[in-house]
Amino acid sequence: MSKQISAIRGMNDIYGLQSQAFSTVLAGAEQVLQQYGYQQIRLPIVEKTELFARSIGEVTDIVEKEMYTFSDRNGDSLSLRPEGTAGCVRAMIENGLLHNQVQKVYYSGPMFRHERPQKGRYRQFHQFGVEVFGLEGPDIDIELILLSARLWDALGLENLELQINSLGSQQARADYREQLVRYLTQYQDQLDEDSQRRLHTNPLRVLDSKNPAMAEIVAGAPKLIDALDEASRHHFDQVCSALDSLGIEYVVNPNLVRGLDYYNRTVFEWVTTELGAQGTVCAGGRYDGLVEQIGGKSTPAVGFAMGIERLMALLVDQQKIVETPSADIFIVLAGPSTLQPGLVMAEMLREALPNQTVVMNCGGGSFKSQFKKADKSGARYALILGDDEVAKQQVTIKSLREDAEQKTLEWDQLISFFTVDKKHN
């Protein structure tokens, strides 16, 4: 007999309360985005490897070590998407959606990175992404922060902190990079392995080090926000002023950076201390240089991505998800003549009560065992259909959650009973 086949490490089944949390995040996010006038876009899971090498960067850990890359039958190098922004930008360019147009879109789906699995970080994970193209003012940066804050309220999430920073213009950033490299070079022997590797390839990422041994060096580094050009400073001041007036609390984190040159100006993250090392649940910012880098015309762009698994974990940990009943009405069949009438009754109820879940007992079983199933389902009512009820075209209704007498109704009275009951609840 063959050995049982298990799931790939870091690629998890989602079921039960976790599945309910997943659906809650997606439904809440879609509702908020639609409130703000954003449109959904669906993107391929597989893209040409070149897209990610060009957008994320060939010397990044994601491209060098973490992507699931393979050659197809034509010899083309393809990769499972490790993030969603690059594919969205490619879609905008390829479909001619950026010519004298503003685009506000959102998407969701699985992403793939070959990382060491831990809570909140998996090899297959899910993201909800939002991207805006064609707007360069601070107003759209503010809108994205606002709609993400509204989502946390909609989900009932607590203890999320907003951190913001500005990366300035590309020129200011380049000048700062030289200043940072000079500073870090003084401590080259004290840098950890990752930071030594990044020193000349991606030095801003050194500021994002989570190694406690690096904390003192990072704290003493020059601050990018002190090197901003005048226009970027004005842009950032407008973002901060608007958040203040709207009552959105935030912390300016000078070490909040992005390692790639196409990022500029506003960056932000929503973080929590409740998920251990994986504290960022939403990260976003401006990337005005990416569209041109991928092959389109220079286009201002800004967006963010949320980790659905991390939000799911917060919902469960903060007890914001209550397991919902699997049924509202459960039909108990007690007799050999009840199957066909039971099927007709179940379909009639589903047609008339589209917001109610109607479950009919399948698989037989004693009267007692069926009632156990009905109770376990969480249903408010059990409908009892026996041979006598079928003969008289009647049905018995028993309340499973309240102390109420059983009722026997004619079949044509059933819909009105539940319609009236719904109005009173």
Percent of the chain with pLDDT strictly greater than 90 = 49
pLDDT computed for residue 55 by the predictor: 82
Q: Does position 66 have pLDDT exceeding 60, yes or no?
A: yes
Alpha-helix runs per DSSP H in 123-169: 138-155
The model's pTM: 0.84
Asked, colleague to colleague, whether 16-317 and 329-423 share their fold, the answer is: no
pLDDT computed for residue 424 by the predictor: 46
Q: Does position 40 have pLDDT exceeding 60, yes or no?
A: yes
Residue corresponding to tokens 């509702």: 31
Amino acid identity, residue 369? S
Choose between 172 and 200: higher pLDDT.
172
Please tell me the distance from the alpha carbon of residue 160 to that of residue 32, in angstroms, as a whole number: 18
Q: Does position 250 have pLDDT exceeding 90, yes or no?
A: yes
Question: How confident is residue 214, by pLDDT bands cut at 50, 70 and 90?
Answer: confident
Range of weakest confidence among 4-8, 56-60, 77-81: 56-60
Residue corresponding to tokens 């009267």: 367
| CATH level 3 topology of 16-317 | BirA Bifunctional Protein; domain 2 (3.30.930)
How is the beta sheet containing 381-386 ordered, strand by strand?
A: 358-360, 329-334, 381-386, 394-399, 407-410
Please tell me the distance from the alpha carbon of residue 297 to that of residue 279, in angstroms, as a whole number: 35
Angle between helices 16-35 and 308-317 (to 10 degrees): 110
Choose between 213 and 363: higher pLDDT.
363
Please tell me the distance from the alpha carbon of residue 389 to that of residue 369, in angstroms, as a whole number: 20
* Spatial CB neighbours of 309, under 8 Å, sequence gap ≥ 6: 120, 122, 125, 126
pLDDT computed for residue 59 by the predictor: 57
Q: Does position 216 have pLDDT exceeding 90, yes or no?
A: no
Range of weakest confidence among 114-118, 155-159, 292-296, 384-388: 114-118
How is the beta sheet containing 39-40 ordered, strand by strand?
A: 39-40, 103-112, 124-133, 301-307, 280-286, 264-271, 161-166, 251-252
Domain coordinates in residue numbering, the chain: 16-317, 329-423
pLDDT computed for residue 3 by the predictor: 84
Q: What count of other Cβ atoms lies within 10 Å of the Cβ of residue 43?
A: 17
pLDDT computed for residue 64 by the predictor: 67
Residue corresponding to tokens 């009560």: 353
Contact 272, 160 (CB under 8 A): yes
Q: What count of other Cβ atoms lies within 10 Å of the Cβ of residue 161?
A: 14
Phi/psi for 143 (5° steps) reads -60, -45
pLDDT computed for residue 126 by the predictor: 95
Q: What count of other Cβ atoms lies within 10 Å of the Cβ of residue 119?
A: 12
**CB-count burial class (<10 Å; 0-12, 13-18, 19+) for 324:** exposed
Name the token pair of 21.
Answer: 């949390």
Q: Does position 49 have pLDDT exceeding 70, yes or no?
A: yes
Mean pLDDT of the chain: 88
**Pick from 241, 207, 232: nearest CA to 285:** 232
Please tell me the distance from the alpha carbon of residue 317 to that of residue 211, in angstroms, as a whole number: 26
What number is the average pLDDT over the span 64-72?
A: 86
Check whether domain 329-423 has CATH 3.30.56.10, yes or no: no
**Structure confidence by residue, pLDDT tens digits, 69-120:** 999 999 999 999 999 999 999 999 999 999 889 999 999 999 999 988 777 6
Question: How confident is residue 425, by pLDDT bands cut at 50, 70 and 90?
Answer: low
**Structure confidence by residue, pLDDT tens digits, 131-162:** 999 999 999 999 999 999 999 999 999 899 99
Q: β-pairing, 329-334 with 358-360? A: parallel
pLDDT computed for residue 173 by the predictor: 81
Q: Does position 125 have pLDDT exceeding 80, yes or no?
A: yes
Please tell me the distance from the alpha carbon of residue 89 to that of residue 101, in angstroms, as a whole number: 14
Question: How confident is residue 423, by pLDDT bands cut at 50, 70 and 90?
Answer: low
